[in-house]
Structure 1
Amino acid sequence: MDRVEKTEQLNNLFEIYQELLTEKQKKYYELYYYEDYSLQEIAEIFEISRNAVFDQLKKVEKHLNHYEEKLKIYNNKEQRIKYLEKYEESKDEKYLKLLRKMDE
């Protein structure tokens, strides 16, 4: 997975799971990924080391991936979208059945 794909994946997971993170973790993430601040700029804002910011961002990434691994909200959403698209293209009822089965 290249950097752009990884960032997109993290952003999707962040949108879903951000409430499970601490306020500081959310702020570090938003500044780095949404506002495009450097690690050094974030470190200066919070008066911590650049390495501490890096470590926190790695922890956030680990948490987001862990939440998705356990809860699979993003994965299920993507699967639903695929089934709907396939149904719209083919009008094959099997895709509706697969969707219903996901909700069981």
Structure 2
Amino acid sequence: MDEILHLTLLYDFYGELLTEKQKQVFELHYQDDLSLTEIGEELSVSRQAVRDQLKRTEKILLDYEQKLGLVSRFQAQKKDVRQMLEIMEEMETEGLSDTQLRQTERIKEIAQAILS
């Protein structure tokens, strides 16, 4: 997975555990796409201070994931749900009864809701 995508996913899961300053720097860099220099100017701190804060924040997010594993579990569950959808689609081609077809359609709807 792309490193930036991975970090933003970690932020989605663990961002509320960060300080306001950590959230601000992370969001300005990864969500607003500002450079370290631009962030430094906006916050009236040096570029190096922004870089240090960003690196600390990234490490904190990675540490949370290492300890809690929520993102890994989430990704594994999404993969499992996709496999469930594939099985349902295979079952539909095997000549199910009307009741079974309705049931597989309902299961597919639930799986799609989980994935979105």
Matching residue within 77, 84, 87 for 2:84: 87
- Displacement of 1:47 in angstroms is 1.2
Q: C-alpha separation between the residues in 2 aligned to 1:15 and 1:22?
A: 14
Structure 1 runs not aligned, ≥5 long: 93-104
- Displacement of 1:45 in angstroms is 1.4
1:33 and 2:30 aligned: yes
Q: Could you tell me the TM-score, scaled by structure 2's length? A: 0.73
Identity percentage of aligned residues: 43
Which 4+ residue blocks in structure 1 deviate beyond 3 angstroms? Answer: none
1:53 and 2:41 aligned: no
Count of aligned pairs between the two proteins = 89
Q: C-alpha separation between the residues in 1 aligned to 2:85 and 2:44?
A: 53
Q: C-alpha separation between the residues in 2 aligned to 1:26 and 1:59?
A: 11
Q: Deviations over 1:59-102 (max 9, x none)?
A: 1110000000111111101111111111221249xxxxxxxxxx
Q: Could you tell me the TM-score, scaled by structure 1's length? A: 0.81
1:6 and 2:7 aligned: no
Q: C-alpha separation between the residues in 1 aligned to 2:80 and 2:32?
A: 34
Q: C-alpha separation between the residues in 1 aligned to 2:78 and 2:36?
A: 35
- Displacement of 1:44 in angstroms is 1.0
1:65 and 2:66 aligned: no
Q: C-alpha separation between the residues in 2 aligned to 1:29 and 1:13?
A: 11
